[in-house]
Amino acid sequence: MPPTDRFVISFAAEPPQDSLPYGRWAETLRGHFLVAVRAIETEGETLGEPGEIRWFPDRTYSGRTYVPATARTSEGFEVFGFVSFTEGGESAGPSEFDAVADYTSELAESNPDWKLDLSDEVIGSWRGESGNRAEITLVWGVPMIPGGAVVTAELANLAVDQCAVVEERFFTLVAPDNYRGDYLEVKLWGGRGELLAVESLYVED
């Protein structure tokens, strides 16, 4: 293959390794996530109590595993974020837990034009050519249309990560964003390779 002029970190995260959290493991993650939810600065908003937490596929990048989550609250908001931890090996369990959470009033049912309901958080950076930096971004979401099998993250039409859609409902990506003036697009693909939807992480006014 000839040299590329789009030299950027790609497929840097491990694919999902475990099933969606359940049982005692889900309760452990829930405890850490709720601590982060309680620490959200709401600027006077009353978020209410989080309901059932929706967990997303795990992804591991740079020695940490990230498990994203969302939940609706009793006051009609959505809280979203992730729990991260380091793997302790076969003889030791996960450790060094951390959690991040935020909230939004923009809900999928109020936006019928959405084809993907996305959340994202920057978790690191990568330095490329001439000191240019990419924001390593954790992206998780839910397809709002049926038939999705795989989701890709693309930067200037270059695939930089992908994830299978779990139970036709959940996916998690880790990809470089905001690099050399290029920004991520998330694309949903059907089982026969047909493009079903394209969404940007950025909302145009």
pLDDT in tens, 16-59: 999 999 999 999 999 999 999 999 999 888 999 999 999 999 99
Q: Domain for residue 59, yes or no?
A: yes
Q: Domain for residue 8, yes or no?
A: no
pTM of this structure: 0.93
CA distances from 70 to 25, 64, 82, 147 (A): 16, 20, 8, 22
> Nearest-CA neighbor of 172 among 78, 80, 52, 72?
80
Q: Domain for residue 101, yes or no?
A: yes
- State how many domains the chain has: 1
Q: Domain for residue 3, yes or no?
A: no
Q: Domain for residue 82, yes or no?
A: yes
Q: Domain for residue 117, yes or no?
A: yes
Q: Domain for residue 136, yes or no?
A: yes
138: containing domain: 23-198
pLDDT in tens, 120-163: 999 999 999 888 999 999 999 999 999 999 999 999 999 999 99
Q: Domain for residue 65, yes or no?
A: yes
Question: What is the model's pLDDT at position 181?
Answer: 92
